[in-house]
Chains A and B, each alone.
Chain A
Amino acid sequence: MSGYEIVLTTDRTMMSNHHGKEFLGFLATGPAIGLPERLWLWLAAPKMKVDNEGKPLEASYGMRKVEAKLIEEGFKAAIIDPDYLHKHLKTMKILMLGHHDYFAYGPPSSEWWMITGKEPVNRISFKKLMESPVVKKAKEKGVKIIAGGPGAWQWLWELGLWKKWGVDTVIDGEVERVIVDIVEKALNNEPLPDYIYVGPHDSPSVDEIPIIKGASVNGLVEIMRGCPRGCRFCSVTLRPLRYIPLDKILKEIEINKKYGVKSVILHSEDVLLYGASGVKPRPDPLIKLHESVSRIIDGHIAWSHASLAAIKYAEEKHKLVTKIMQDIVLTKQEFLGVEVGIETLSVRLAKIIMPAKSAPYPPEEWPNIVEDAFRIMHENRIIPAATLILGLPQETPDDVMETAELLDRIKDYRSVIVPMFFVPMGALKNRDWFRKNAVKTEHIEVMKKCLFHTLKWAEDIMNKFYLKEPYLAPVRLGLKLFLRYVKWKANKVIPRLETYMRK
C-alpha cells in the first residue's frame, strides 16, 4: 500500500449509506431524542464497509466527483472513511472535507437545535472528527485542510473553529473546473485564497464533469444540474442548465453496480424536468431515461427531488406520471420516494417568495397544484417527503393559518410533511430569542398538523412499504419505538405549549 497524498473525508453522519435508506439519514440532523446517542447514530448513520485501505464502498456523490476529477488529472487521491485516516497520515498532504451541513446551520438541523436546545448529532459528529488525534497530527505535520461542499458557507459563522482547526481554504460552489489548480497550488505551498465562491460563469460544462470512479451513496447519480425556474434569490437557477447525457448516466449506474449497489437515486433539482422544454416536462426524454435505467438495474429507482407543478403538468398534459410509474417503475418495485417542496400554502406569500415555483401555472393556483400533485403521487404510489417553511420574511399570521387550513386538503394522501423554520443566522446565537420571538401560536398549529399527519402516514408507510427487508428488522424496531415515543411526548408537550403560547 503506497498511500494517498490527497485524502477526501467527512464525518460519520455523511460517511454512511443510512442502511440503504437515505431518508434515515435525516435522523442525523437532530439530537438524539428518546434514545441513547450511540443508538441514534447507528440508526441514522451506520458505519460503511471499507476496503483494506479504508476506502468506503459507497461515498457522497459530490466527493466522488472531486475524487474522479483529481484521479483523472493524475493525483493520488481517494475518499477515506474517517475511522481509517491514520493509514494515510504518512503520505497525506491535503485533507479535503465535504459536508452538507458541517455545523447544523442548515434545515432541518437548525430547527431541531432551536426547538430542543440540544446540539444535533451531525454537528457533534463533525466536531469529533476535527478534534480527533489523527486530524490534529495531520495538521501538525503541515497537511493543508480544504473544506467544500454544499455546507461550505457555514464556516463563515464558525471562524473560531476555522482558526482552531487550521483550515486553509473553504470552497463553495461547483468545483470541477477549479479544483485541480487549487490542489496543485496547495501541493506546491503557493498561497491560496481563504475563501472561494465559484460563480455561474465558472460552472463546468457537461464535458468537464467527470464520471465517478467509485460507488455513490445508495446509487445516487446526477441527471441534470441547474434549474430553469429563474427564482431571483437562488444561485442554482443562475447556473447554466445542463442535462447529463443518458450514456453518461448509465455509465455511472454501471460503476455503482460494479461495487454492488443495486438501486438508483436519480438526482436533479426537479427530476421531471430532465430534457424538458423550459418548465414543461416532455415524455420522450423521461420515458427513455426511466426505461434505460430500469433495464440495467436489479434494485429500485428513487427520485431525489421533483416539483409539484411539474408532477401536475406531466400528468395532466401527457399522463406521464402514470406511464412512468405503472409501465416502468412499479413493474419492479412497490413505491417510489421523492422530496418535494410545498414551502407555503398561502397564495400571497407564494407570490412573494416563489413566484416561479408554480410555473407553468400561475401562483394563484398554488394550493390546487399542491393538492393535485399529492393526489397524483398517491394514486401512483409515489411517496413524497414534503417540506414547509415557517417564519419566512414578510410572513403574516394569516399566511400561516391559510397553510394550516389547507393542509387538511392533503391529509388523505400518503406523505411525510416536515415543517422547517426560516432561521436568521443571528438567531442561532440566542435560542431563547428564537423560542420567544420566532415561534407563534399559528406556527404551533401547523407543526401539530404536520406531526400528526406524518405520524399517521409513517406507520402506514412502514407497515406497507418501508424497511421490509429482514436484515433491517432492528432498524424497523428502533424506528417504531421512536415513533411511539414521539407520539407520547407530543401528546404531553403540545397542550402545555399551547397554554404557554396563549399567555
Chain B
Amino acid sequence: MKNNWLQNNNSFHVVLVFSNSGDLVVKEALFRIYELGSKFKVFDIHVVSPISRPYYLKFLREVIQNIIAFSLRIWYNGSSVEDLRKLINDLASRKDRAIFVVEKDMPEYYGLIRSFNFETIVVGE
C-alpha cells in the first residue's frame, strides 16, 4: 500500500537555527521534544545553519541517539535569512505545527520568525 509518509501531517516541526555550534540549541530542542512526546509520534527537525550538509548532523547526534521512542526526519534548509523565510512560508502555508529554537547571536533570524505567529525560543537570551 503506497502512502505519503514523508508528508505525514501529524508530525511536529522543530526548526533549529544556529551558527558555529548547535550544542545549546540542540539541548533545548531535545527538552522540548521530550515535552511534546506525549502528543506527537513523528518530529520533523529542520536545520538552518552555515554548517553545511551533512556536517551539521554532528550536533544532532545527541537528539538521534536519545529520541528512540519517536520517528525523526531531519532536513537541511540552507543558511540564509531568505532560506529561513522560505521554510517559514512553507510551514505556514501547510498550517504545520512548529516551534523555532534559535541561537541568541542571530537577531536577524529570530526577528523574522517573531514576525510570524510561531513559538520561538531564543537560547542564551
Contact = CB atoms under 8 A, between A and B. Distances in A.
Given A197-B67, A199-B70, A156 B2 contact: no
B6 A199 contact: no
Interface in A439-455: none
B57 interface: yes
B32 interface: no
Contacts of B64: 153, 156, 172, 195, 197
B100 to A, nearest CB: 18
Interface stretch (A181-189, A253-261, A336-344, A464-472): A181-189
B41 interface: yes
B71 A163 contact: no
Nearest to A180: B2
A181 B57 contact: no
A191 B46 CA distance: 13
Contact of A156 (B42, B44, B61, B75): B61
Nearest to A192: B6
B57 A194 contact: yes
A20 interface: no
A231 to B, nearest CB: 12
A195 B60 contact: yes
A206 to B, nearest CB: 14
B71 to A, nearest CB: 4
Interface string B1-38: 11111100000000000000000000000000000000
A199 B54 contact: no
A173 to B, nearest CB: 8
A389 interface: no
Contact of A199 (B2, B42, B55, B58): B42
B2 A159 contact: no
B97 interface: no
Contact of B71 (A191, A194, A202): A202
A181 B2 contact: yes
A156 B67 CA distance: 15
A196 B74 contact: yes
B74 A159 contact: no
Interface residues of A, number: 32
Contacts of B73: 193, 195-196
Nearest to A425: B61
**Interface range on chain B (Cβ under 8 Å from partner):** 20 to 34
A238 interface: yes
Contacts of A497: none
A73 interface: yes
B2 A73 contact: yes
Interface string B67-89: 11111111110000000000000
B65 A153 contact: yes
B69 A238 contact: yes
A430 to B, nearest CB: 17
B53 interface: yes
B42 A163 contact: no
B3 A238 contact: no
A238 B54 contact: no
Contacts of B75: 191, 193-194
Contacts of A181: 2-6
A201 B38 CA distance: 12
A153 B76 CA distance: 18
A156 B69 CA distance: 19
A200 B69 contact: yes
Interface in A354-383: none
Given A194-B74, A196-B72, A197-B64, A159 B5 contact: no
A191 B41 CA distance: 22
B53 A199 contact: no
A182 B73 CA distance: 11
A202 B76 contact: no
Contacts of B72: 195-197, 199
Interface string B104-116: 0000000000000
Contacts of A162: 54
A347 B86 CA distance: 56
B57 A156 contact: yes
A406 interface: no
A180 B54 contact: no
Contacts of A196: 71-74
A334 B3 CA distance: 48
Contacts of A132: none
A153 B60 CA distance: 12
7 contacts: A167-B54, A180-B3, A194-B75, A196-B71, A198-B71, A199-B68, A238-B68
Interface of A: 73, 153, 156-157, 159, 162-163, 167, 172-173, 177-178, 180-182, 184-185, 191-202, 208, 235, 238
Given A182-B5, A199-B70, 17 more contacts: A156-B61, A163-B55, A173-B71, A178-B5, A184-B2, A191-B75, A193-B6, A193-B73, A194-B57, A195-B57, A195-B73, A199-B71, A200-B69, A201-B41, A201-B42, A201-B70, A202-B42
